Amino acid sequence: MSEQAYDEKNTKDYDDNTIKLNDALEKISKNSDLPATQKEVARISGIHRNTVSEREFPAIRLKEIKKQRKEQEQQEQQDIKSKAEELTEERDNIAKEVVYWFSEFTKANKDRDDLELQLRRQIENTDFYKTEFEKQKEKIKTLQDKNEQLKELLRDVK
């Protein structure tokens, strides 16, 4: 074989390995369960680890993937914190509302108790005044009867 045939074969192997490495890096980039390491790239691509480490672009791409994952994790943590803060604020607002409505309920119960007491007193007063009215009615009748008797006596005396 000629030297040119070896060069063509090496170029073809180099290109095939580049495609395999890119595919492996793409898989690692899309699946966060896969570790972003040269060992994993070698395992997925079927290329020896030394070959992977000799190439510059897999190491650069792995750093980018790690950075991207770290940023994503920080964003998720920030989202969790934001959600926790939102839930805490909502809980506090609900607690304030519960306290407000409980105080309104307590106030309404006190008002109801006061009104019931006033009603009982008015009923008692009504009963008292009814009996007083009946007594006064009896007195008036008695006085009217006496007045009639006196009128009759006066007529008789004339």
Structural domain boundaries enclosing 21: 3-157
Cα-based angle 43, 48, 49 (whole degrees, multiple of 5): 80
**Number of structural domains found in the chain:** 1
Q: Closest Cα to residue 116, out of 108, 105, 106?
A: 108
Rounded to whole angstroms, the maximal C-alpha distance in the chain is 174
Report residue 48: phi and psi, to 5°: -60, 145
- Express each pLDDT in 52-97 by its tens digit: 888 899 999 999 999 999 999 999 999 999 999 999 999 999 999 9
DSSP 34: S
Predicted structure pTM score: 0.54
In our burial notation (b when 16+ CB lie closer than 10 A, e otherwise), range 76-85 reads: eeeeeeeeee
pLDDT digits (tens, 9 = 90+) for 1-55: 567 777 788 888 888 999 999 999 999 999 989 999 999 999 999 989 888 888 8
pLDDT at position 158 over 90 = no
Q: Which amino acid is at 48?
A: H
Residue 48, Cα to own-chain centre: how many angstroms?
A: 53
At position 76, the amino acid (one-letter code) is: E
Closest by Cα among 66, 63, 56 to 18: 56
